[in-house]
Structure 1
Amino acid sequence: MSSPKSAPRAEVTDGRSQRWNGHKAERRDRILNAAITAIREAGVDVGVKEIAERANVPRSVVYRLFGDRDDLDEQVRTRIISELMTRLTPVLEPEGTVGAAVTRAVDTYIGWIVTNPHLHQFLASGSTKKSVGGSRSVSNARTAVAVQTTQLLAAAMARADGADDIAEPLAFALVGMVDSAVNRWLSRGMRPVSAEALSHSLQRWILHTITVAMADIGVEVRAQTPVTELFGSATEPR
């Protein structure tokens, strides 16, 4: 026959477990914030010791909560990407003219990089493990942007009664071009051109590429083309 006191004892145990889980979550959050602050200020080579000191926890706690440095780094990347996508996602929705939409997206991205060069370098640095494909978080973010771009291009092509089978490769080509150009530019200390010049060039290349792709299906697109003329109601997910 079970004791009636067993239920309260279980409740006490559950309460302690919840408090401990909350304590661990708070520490993890503090460590991640400390890591991002340290990278933003000191660069990508910041050590676990400095991160632990900034978070006001022993270094052993960092490894206990994250397992190893790669686990910590990947979760830091996830948080950095979340910050970047909060800025970038809204401006990927087309408004005004095609040229203005491209300018807004590229300027927002380059602007974030100029403000947070070390964070972007950290994203580009990948994992210390020799895994194929690098950081999963970074790869997923690139894919998310490319998929959203694909939907926009496919909507414009479908509205023009053209084949939209090139929308996906075109979108991934555009994202890859921007990513490669920016990473190389950062690796050279934001040289040989200024941020403004790089942004302007990327905008022109993107517009020219889209113009050629749309011309192939008989649609004329210019920087002054209103996005409502190009997309209409077809920008809604299909």
Structure 2
Amino acid sequence: MSSDPGLREDSQTSGHEARWEQHNSERRSRILRAAVELIEEAPAGTDVSVRQISARAGLAKSVVYRQFEGREDLDRRIRSHLIDDFSRTLEAGLDTSHGSIEEIIARTIRAVADWMADHPRLDEFARTGPTHEGPSDVDAVTSLKLRMSERARDVLTSIADQLGVDTGDGIFDTLPFAVVTMVEGTLTHWVHDVDPTRTREQIVDELTTLTRYVLDGAIRSVGLSVDPRMELTDLIAQLSAR
């Protein structure tokens, strides 16, 4: 063990800074959770004030302003918090370790439908501006669509690599964003329809079928034919053995 007092002092300073950063991180999370709760509770078209957020978080208003650079920064970080949380749900839906192609598609679309229908105020707020990390001219929902398109493309590329299929820069490059846009646009129309003709389960089933048709066409374009109801892991093993 070193007896150098300078090293001990540096270590103590580093430890103090780490604890302080953790303390600030916990406060920011507390503030963001409070903001999300208030936004969800607020009537449509009603703004949530910093005073309300600080009161719900149990902190002084000045503390909120110290944690963020201003109201715009706070709003951006709230959107990031929303999108990150929702992304984790979608990632679970896209888990290819269990379920058939049809099941994976259905549970992912159902997760989107549930979030949009059950949390309309959060969905509305996410569309009002950018995330903390994203460009200022791209709203949070669009950022999420791009993120999920990239994730879906990674999944398809990974499966293609396992099968030794070269997808090149063709249809598989544009398919993820096209499908994500179709699903999001259709669900947005359905959620805002004052007198919808389809139930939630019906719209999810129809979008699952449409997505399966599009994916099946893309798969056939590279010379493969698959059973969308077969467990995906078994399907990959079967195709790899050919």
**TM-score normalised per structure 1:** 0.75
Q: 2:107 — aligned with what? A: 104
The 1:6–1:162 alpha-carbon spacing in structure 2 relative to 1, beyond 3 Å, is closer
Aligned equivalents of 1:164, 1:233: Cα separation in 2 = 23
The range that moved more, 138-147 or 206-215, is 138-147
Name the residue aligned to 2:30: 30
Q: In 2 relative to 1, CA 197–121 (structure 1 residues): closer, same or farther, beyond 3 Å? A: farther
**Contact map agreement 2:106 2:208 (CA 8 A) in 1:** yes
SS in 2 for 1:126: coil
- Residue in structure 2 matched with residue 151 of structure 1 by the alignment: 154
Which residue, out of 184, 209, 232, partners 2:214? 209
Give the distance between the partners of 1:231 and 1:27, measured in 2 at CA: 46
Distance in 2 between the 1:220 and 1:9 partners? 66
| 1:216-231 superposed matches below 5 A | 216-228=221-233, 230-231=235-236
Query: Over residues 203-224 of structure 1, what are the superposed CA-to-partner deviations in whole Å (9 max), with x where a residue is unaligned?
Result: 1110111122222233234533
* Change beyond 3 A, Cα 1:22–1:157: closer
Report if the CA contact (8 A) 1:36-1:119 is conserved.
Answer: yes
1:83-94 alignment to 2 at 5 Å? 83-94=85-96
Percent of paired sites with the same residue: 28
Q: What is the identity, as a one-letter code, of the residue corresponding to 2:84?
A: S
Residues 1:146 and 1:183: Cα distance change in structure 2 (over 3 Å): same
Q: CA deviation at 1:10?
A: 8.4
After superposing the two structures, state which structure 1 stretch, 222-231 or 68-77, moved more. Answer: 222-231
List alignment gaps of at least 5 residues for structure 1. none
Q: Structure 1 residue 171 and structure 2 residue 172: aligned?
A: no
Q: Which amino acid aligns with 1:32?
A: L
8 Å contact from structure 2 (residues 105, 208) kept in 1: yes
Which sits farther off after the overlay, 11-20 or 41-50? 11-20
Partner of 2:54: 52
Q: Secondary structure at the match of 1:125?
A: coil
Q: 1:89 to 1:200 in 2, by over 3 A?
A: same
Distance 2:9 2:231 in 1: 67
- What displacement does 1:87 show? 2.0
User: Are the counterparts in 2 of residues 160 and 219 from structure 1 also a CA contact under 8 Å?
Assistant: no
1:110-189 alignment, distance < 5 Å: 110-127=113-130, 131-135=136-140, 138-157=141-160, 159=163, 161=165, 163-165=167-169, 166-188=171-193
Alignment RMSD (CA, Å): 3.6
> Which AA in structure 2 matches 1:50?
Q
Alpha-carbon displacement from aligned partner over 1:46-73 (angstroms, at most 9, x marks no partner): 2222212211233333223211222112
The 3 A distance-change label for structure 1 pair 157 and 19 is: closer
Q: How many residues align?
A: 228
Aligned CA distance change for structure 1 residues 9 and 33 (closer, same or farther; 3 Å) = same
Secondary structure (helix, strand or coil) at the match of 1:90 reads helix
**Structure 1 contact 31–55 (Cα < 8 Å) conserved:** yes
What does residue 78 of structure 1 align with? 80
Instruction: Tell me by how many angstroms 1:126 deviates.
Output: 2.2
C-alpha displacement of 1:9: 9.0
Is residue 79–residue 130 contact of structure 2 (8 Å, CA) maintained in 1?
no
Q: TM-score, normalised by structure 2?
A: 0.74
In structure 1, distance between residues paired with 2:235 and 2:178? 20
Q: Measure how far apart 1:145 and its partner are.
A: 2.0
* SS in structure 2 of the partner of residue 219 of structure 1: coil
| Alignment check: 8 A CA contact 1:121 1:183 kept | no
Instruction: Report Cα offsets for 1:102-148 as digits up to 9, x if no partner.
Output: 112222332233333322222223249x932234xx55543332222
- Structure 1 residue 226: Cα displacement: 4.1
Residue of structure 2 in register with 1:65 after alignment: 67
Contact 1:81 1:141 in 2 (8 A): yes
